[in-house]
Amino acid sequence: MKKRRISRETALQFLYQYDTKIRSEKLCEFDFKSEFELFSSTLDEEISEEITDFAVLLSSGTCQHIDAIDKLIENYSQNWKIYRISKIDKNILRISIYEMVYLRTIPPAVTINEAIEIAKKFGAEDSGSFINGMLDKIKTANEKGELNHD
């Protein structure tokens, strides 16, 4: 498996763990590097520094912009409030939106494809198509300069 995919999956697991234990808005109160190292020590496989660094970047960056990202999710999810979206799907969306809107070093098509594959692995049966539809809307709006974010 590619290193970036492992980073994304690990970041998802990390954010999911904390999202289930505490409210999302409290996520930013951590030293991500330390917390992530503690988290990764509980995993079955050893994670390289390169994978850890990208996963920490995704986790901390997602957290840093979580309010704006969650607002985008609510604005682009028709008839869905964010609290109704599964924690897995919500965190896949959060990470992917962070990549597309704030990181911008990865082509959006790659980000969307990775999100769909991760959703198929960790989400429900229809997670992949839900994630694809949401991210495509946000990608298009971002390309048109229509997003209001910090």
pLDDT, tens digit, for every residue of 67-91? Answer: 899 999 999 987 777 888 999 999 9
Domain boundaries, the chain: 3-143
Rounded Cα gap, residues 123 and 51, in angstroms: 22
The Cβ-side half-sphere exposure at 81, using a 13 Å CA radius, reads 2
Rounded Cα gap, residues 111 and 106, in angstroms: 7
Which pLDDT does position 91 carry in this prediction?
95
> How far, rounded to the nearest angstrom, does the alpha carbon of residue 44 sit from its chain's CA centroid?
22
pLDDT band at 22 (very low <50, low <70, confident <90, very high): low
> Considering the domain 3-143, what is its CATH architecture?
Orthogonal Bundle (1.10)
Residue 29 carries which DSSP code? G
Is residue 27's pLDDT more than 70? no
| pTM (predicted TM-score) | 0.86
Is residue 25's pLDDT more than 70? no
